Chain A
Amino acid sequence: MIFRKVLILIPAYNEEANIATTIANIKKFTKGKGWDILVVDDGSKDKTYLKAKKCEVIVVRHPFNMGYGVAIQTGYKFAIDGGYDILVQIDADGQHDPKYIPKMINTLRREKLDVVIGSRFRKKTDYHAPFMRRLGMILFSLIVSAVTRRKVTDSTSGYQVIDKKVLNFLSSDSFPCDYPDADLLIMLYFAGFKVDEIPMKMYENKTGKSMHGSLIKNFYYVMKMSLSILTIVLRKVTGLPSF
């Protein structure tokens, strides 16, 4: 098998309670493989940066908080600079089980896919999201499935394995930095990339923290995502490049 350079990207914001455990869990599955781990500290106000540094991984830090999308895009740019072949994106809060990383990478290679997404809903699991969030997830998954004509069950999953040929696309200014999920999947589909999901178990966030936290944020998310999807489809219909 040809050796491929793999980067595991962990975007983190105020995750001092979880970051060390998350990195330790990831290291269990990457031991001896020569894969690099990158933590992008998105201008945390707590000790996330110092705690991640102690874990002997690569840590970069935004001078101030820029949001989840910008943090992962910094990771994509780092991966391009470092010449990585595969990027694994995993959340810092411990929701994503790193045991799936080898399986996801194997699926990416075997099926010759460009992006593999870990789905909470592909198979029945005991994952419980709050009602409104679950409703939003179902709604946007249905929209993405309808547009891409492929079954998408978890359009908001941040657990992804990405091939290097997608990284340049994701590093462009058209990358939706606000909430890169359902709209990004449609963009990837229009750009001709092959995306698929694999079923997996995810854990609920013990701290209860989420980027879709308050009612206002949920409302903003639904409006922003709907507008983003609409404009992507409109660009496609009117013959403008979608990215």
Chain B
Amino acid sequence: MQVLGLNNVSKMYKNGTIAVQQANLSVREGDFVSFVGPSGCGKSTIFRMAAGLSAPTGGEIEILGGSPDEARKSNGIACVFQEATLLPWVSVRDNIALPLQLRKQPRKRQVEEAERVLHLVGLQDYAKALPRELSGGMKMRVSIARALVANPRILFMDEPFGALDEITRQTLQDELLTIRQKTERMTILFVTHNAFEAVYLSNRVMVMTPRPGRIAGEIRIDVPYPRGERFRAHPDFGRYVSEVSESLKH
């Protein structure tokens, strides 16, 4: 079932910059799609348009059977940004419960759901901690937990591990795949600069090129889930990474 469709979507800013030009894409339920490309190729712009945070200047976007605004209002989508964007004045639990709080869910449900996803990301001992007491990796886990608390059907992740060291990044990649296994049918769209990360996580890698931003090609990663260190060490991994890197150069 298609959950996201981009049909000749374009975005031009008032100063004439074409951020995205005629992007076409169809994403099926359960896909893990990575967008790889250099800075300025429109990856984050496509995300913002699909999430209803920015309107396209051309083309159509259909998401979860409706427009991005409708999908946002139906609470079917969630986002994780490169910055953890936590509220520094409230606890980890209340940060995670924020989407439910804004939807005026009962406090009991907020706490129960927050505790559930805290266990999912392994931070159950930090429910009452403040964001300043957490490491960068832990803050990103909280950000992911917050995105998951309302059981979204589509999760947008815009370079969520970009600011982290390699060890933490790989740990969180594995955790993300584990979470994905547990949350059936969730579709993930993931932006990254890192070809290794894109290949490891996704079943589809969209290669984007800049000026203007275009989806230049797609590489399918035909390796089943669950994936782990064995995949990173397998020759196929290197082959896929080379394929993505070569596509980025052309």
Q: Do A and B come from one complex?
A: no
Write the residues of chain B forming the contact surface with A, with a CB cutoff of 8 angstroms: none
